Amino acid sequence: MEFLIIFFHCLLLTTGYLCVQGSSHHRHQHHFHDSRQVYGFRPTKLFVFGDSYADTGNIRKSFADSWKEPYGSTFPGKPAGRFSDGRILTDYLAKFLGLKSPVTYTWMNLGKQKWLNGMNFAYGGSGVFNTFGDLLPNMSTQIDFFEKLMNDSVYTKWDLQSSAVLVSLTGNDYGTYLANGGAFQGLASFISKVINQLEVNLKRVRRLGARKIVVTSLPPLGCLPRSTETSSFKKCNITENIAVSYHNLLLQQAVAKLNNKTGNSTISIVDLFRSFTTVIEQKQDYLGNLKFETPLKPCCIGKSDGYFCGSVDDKGAKMYTLCHDPKSVFFWDSSHPTEAGWQAMFTTLKPSFDRILKYQ
């Protein structure tokens, strides 16, 4: 552990990243890697791969809390598979692009009309590698699903060329690694493996025709309620955030390398690390009002060990507590932001999306 920390510190120091960790000072990194000049671009569709920060209902009902009350209570008003009380990153990005939130792959048989806005292949809990055995499609399998639809002429290469692609990879591989007894010392090399696989996946999406790909950086995982619970939701876990910064550094390098080699496709980073830390520090909602007074404390909390947001006991009694007003809380459950949280973060991301997706 000691070694790991020193190792990370050195790396981070040589690249000027050190001050990020758990403090309010961090280098203002250019959060979108915009290495080449791109033509004005208005995506006609949005395709989405990844995990719960982007899943709008793919994950099976029997399998996930996201299909239980009180998930979805703000939007759409009942549980619908989103890991939040309401809208999430995918929804805000789609709206920004002037599109409806793309239909989920699982529910694509709701009608062809729904395919026009693109499709969402993201599954909560997934990673680039298998996370819960093979219960969930990893990102490669999600891309297989898409490729199959292209093979079946549901979508064409042109559809993809004229679309935006969102790739959300926010840490399930690491949760699985640690849960399976992976040593923290070995984490650095596992992080490289994850980034290498992500690179393979991004290349594949690009080969299928994607011209505009945005990929998330890791959020500050050490600030998620599941990590701050031990400090009564007051202090971020700095060790975890250092590991996160290492992932994000390798991601930047991988993306720079990928962009260096291509004609006219770009991969950009959606800097979730920065948008999380900005909103958590400023505590402001999307209108700039001071709202999130205890920004690390989630709205929906399991009543005791073994119970989570959405848990009920044998008799159906709620085994979680719920905040009074999700609009004034940043985190929804132990790992996911509220709709208000996502909306505030999207405000911080908007200028970059503007630059990347619309104009330049």
Ligand X SMILES: *[C@@H]1O[C@H](CO)[C@@H](O)[C@H](O)[C@H]1NC(C)=O
* Residues assigned a catalytic role: 52, 333, 336
In angstroms, give the least distance from the CB of 273 to ligand X: 17
Pick one of 106, 239, 245, 248: the residue that binds ligand X (CB under 6 A).
239
Pick one of 15, 44, 140, 294: the residue that binds ligand X (CB under 6 A).
140
CA atoms within 13 A on the CB side of 309: 27
Give the list of residues 6+ apart from residue 170 with CB closer than 8 angstroms, or none: 50, 51, 52, 53, 216, 218, 219, 272
Closest CA to 224 of 214, 213, 212, 237: 237
Pick one of 197, 216, 277, 348: the residue that binds ligand X (CB under 6 A).
197
Q: What is the dihedral of CA 184, 186, 189, 193, to 10 degrees?
A: -80
Q: Which stretch binds ligand X (CB under 6 A): 54-62, 107-115, 123-131, 327-335?
A: 123-131
In angstroms, give the least distance from the CB of 265 to ligand X: 7
3-state SS, residue 284: strand
The bridge status of strand 320-322 relative to strand 300-302 is: antiparallel
In angstroms, give the least distance from the CB of 138 to ligand X: 4
In angstroms, give the least distance from the CB of 85 to ligand X: 27
Instruction: Give CA–CA dist 194/196, Å, rounded.
Output: 5
Pick one of 147, 175, 192, 284: the residue that binds ligand X (CB under 6 A).
147
Instruction: Give CA–CA dist 132/198, Å, rounded.
Output: 18
Give, for 304, the enclosing helix (H) or strand (E).
none
Site size with ligand X, rule: CB under 6 A: 23
Does the footprint of ligand X cover residue 257 (CB under 6 A)? yes
Does the footprint of ligand X cover residue 256 (CB under 6 A)? yes
What is the binding site for ligand X (CB under 6 A)? 128-130, 134, 138, 140-141, 144, 147-148, 151, 161, 184, 197, 230, 237, 239-240, 256-257, 260, 263-264
